[in-house]
Structure 1
Amino acid sequence: MELTFLGTASAIPTRKRNHTAIIVKISNRTILLDCGEATQKQIMKAEVSPMKIDDIYITHLHGDHILGLPGIIQSLAFRGRTRPLNIYGPKGITELLDHIRHLGYCTIGYEIIVHEITDDDVVIYQQNDFKVMAKKMKHTVPDYAYKIEEIRQPKFLRNKAIELGVPPGPLFGKLQAGKPVTVDDKVINPEEVLGPPRKGVKFVFSGDTIPQESMIDFAKDADLLIHEATFTKDIKEKSLENGHTVAEDAAKIAKQANVEKLIITHLSNRYTDSKPLVDEARNIFENTTYAEDFMTVIIENKKPITIK
């Protein structure tokens, strides 16, 4: 799994920080998390083809997380995209996309499939090797956190299958796919020849939110938690009023969730650099980094997280 931060600012961008957006490459899909203003320019600078984006997940409908959508949608049309684009988001995303389709007299020559999330703690996308889950957070508008988790198939016990009379060949593949097979009138079930479940890598992206106890369970044992930390704790009251988390509280969540690494993001423009927030978080959770635009994170199973 590879993540590239395209934007790490909060409401007002700075010369060094664009509005929120993260590109995620996993398996055969390219995913965009949030799409703040000028995201398509950031994508170009990161040398990612926007035509490869399969899915866009929007945490909430504040401008700093969605104002890049019209530009990307129209640019994909101008480039001649024909395959569908999936866009996920909270209630209101359907209406927003209806407006974008008719904005600027642009003809959209591909299908936009809108998935409006209304449930809590649900799997909203799944294929054989990873899944995406959504969890309600608490902001000033409806907001969802997202978890992307690798699905690793249990180890196939080849020798055990042979002992049970299964000949090497196509029947092995069926058992590995979770389907029972019949050999000489004897049914062999997958659980007889598969090892225990294997943990896959996973990461969680909080969106904008005040600290939530529910995030601890949602992010439990994650390899990476990306959590907003807009302010330092000296203005915690202001932070909560605006629906945000301070660095110290993001670190407390990471510690209680037993994550491997915490990356905090969504920096307020009141700070000239992220050091005060990083220092505050590391007092609670040492393995903390503040995200920077174009920072790339690589998560591999049984290997330390790499940051470039």
Structure 2
Amino acid sequence: MELTFLGTSSAVPSKYRNHPSVALKAFGEIILFDCGEGTQRQLTNVKISPMKIDKIFISHLHGDHILGLPGLIQSMGFRGRDSENPLHIYGPIGIKNIKKAIFELGHFFVDFPVIIHEIENTGMTTNIIFENDEYAVECIKTHHNINNLSYSIYEKKKPRFLREKAIELGVKPGPDFGKLHNGHSVEIGDNIIKPEEVLGTPRSGSKIVYSGDTIHCEEMINLAKDADILIHESTYKDKDIDKTVNNAHSTASQAAKIAKEANVSQLILTHISTRYTSIDDLKQEAIEIFENTEIAYDYLNLEI
């Protein structure tokens, strides 16, 4: 799994920070979290092809998180993305209207399906919004001044295959090993060998959580529980706590409290206000509460 931060600013971009977007390379896919203005150019700079993007998860409908969608979709069409390669976009109620607006914006043509998944979530519990054999994506409504969804993506890691145990039971190396590791019983002579006989204990895979815009809240803590990486907005410093309250954002120290309470392994701060020319204080406020904290910058790349 590989994370690339395409944009790390808040509402207004700066010379050094683009509007919010994070790309995840994993499971043979490229997945985006949010798509701020300029995202397709940022993708070019890190040599990620937009043609390979399968899914985009939108946290909320403020412009700094969605205004990259029109250009990205139009460019995909211009470059010949075909009907065999649908683009799935997930987001809060209202995102179907965003698709309608995009397709009425200027004159262009696309030959691929843009499939919108509007998500309803009350914040009472998480929703699994996508799941296959390799990974699952959950979301929960968190607290911003409009409907905001925070996302968790986690790997479904198979139990370790006990090769020697399988051989002892008469299973020969080959296709039957794969069947058992994938959860299917195999017949060996008169015996049925079940997967649980040759698999180790369950293993937890990697888990990444993305906050979108939110204040400190219990819902965010629940979603981020035991995550390997929590990507959390950190728009303000503590001295600007009044702006945090008025605009429903988080300070660095509030994000750090969530990381600590959720027992995450690493905290990455993003969505940094352009009012700050130095981020040293921002990082220090977080580290005093949660030591393993980094502040994202555009083009930051992390292997997980």
What is the 5 A alignment of 1:224-235? 224-235=229-240
8 A contact 1:101–1:108 mirrored in 2: no
> Which one-letter code corresponds to 1:176 in the other structure?
H
**What does 1:1-308 correspond to in 2, within 5 Å?**
1-82=1-82, 83-119=85-121, 120-299=125-304
Decide which moves more: 53-62 or 215-224: 215-224
Q: Distance in 2 between matches of 1:159 and 1:272?
A: 59
Counterpart amino acid of residue 280 in structure 2:
K
- How far did residue 205 of structure 1 move? 0.8
- The AA in structure 2 aligned to 1:188 is I
Residue in 2 aligned with 1:302? none
| CA apart distance, 1:198 | 1.4
C-alpha deviation, 1:72, in angstroms: 0.3
Q: What are the superposed Cα offsets for residues 165-203 of structure 1, whole Å, 9 maximum, x if unpaired? A: 334333222211111233344332211211011121221
**TM-score after normalising by structure 1:** 0.93
Secondary structure of 2:129 counterpart = strand
Q: Deviations over 1:94-114 (max 9, x none)?
A: 121122122212111111111
The range that moved more, 161-170 or 30-39, is 161-170
Other structure's SS at 1:105 match: coil
Displacement of 1:208: 0.2
Task: Provide Cα deviations, 1:124-167, integer angstroms capped at 9, x if missing partner.
Answer: 22232222221221111111111121221111112222333334
- Which residue type is aligned with residue 104 of structure 1? G
Structure 1 CA distance for aligned equivalents of residues 130 and 37 of structure 2 = 26
Secondary structure of the residue aligned to 2:241 is helix
Letter in 2 for 1:102: E
Report if the CA contact (8 A) 1:86-1:115 is conserved. Answer: yes
CA distance in 2, matches of 1:123, 1:162: 38
Q: Distance in 1 between matches of 2:49 and 2:207?
A: 24
Gaps of 5+ in 2: none
- Please give the TM-score of this superposition, normalised by the length of structure 2: 0.94
Mapped to 2, the partners of 1:40 and 1:196 lie a distance apart of 42
Question: SS of the counterpart of 1:87?
Answer: strand
| More off after superposition, 152-161 vs 244-253 | 152-161
Q: Quick one: which amino acid aligns to residue 94 of structure 1?
A: K
Q: Counterpart of 1:173 in 2: which secondary structure?
A: helix
Letter in 1 for 2:170: G
Q: Distance in 2 between matches of 1:180 and 1:240?
A: 56
Q: Which moved more, 1:131-140 or 1:18-27?
A: 131-140
Which secondary structure state, in structure 2, belongs to the residue aligned with residue 103 of structure 1?
A: coil
Alpha-carbon separation, structure 2, partners of 1:49 and 1:163: 47
| Amino acid of the structure 2 residue aligned with 1:77 | G
Distance in 1 between residues matched to 2:217 and 2:143, nearest whole Å: 7
Q: Distance in 2 between matches of 1:237 and 1:180?
A: 60
CA distance in 2, matches of 1:43, 1:172: 40
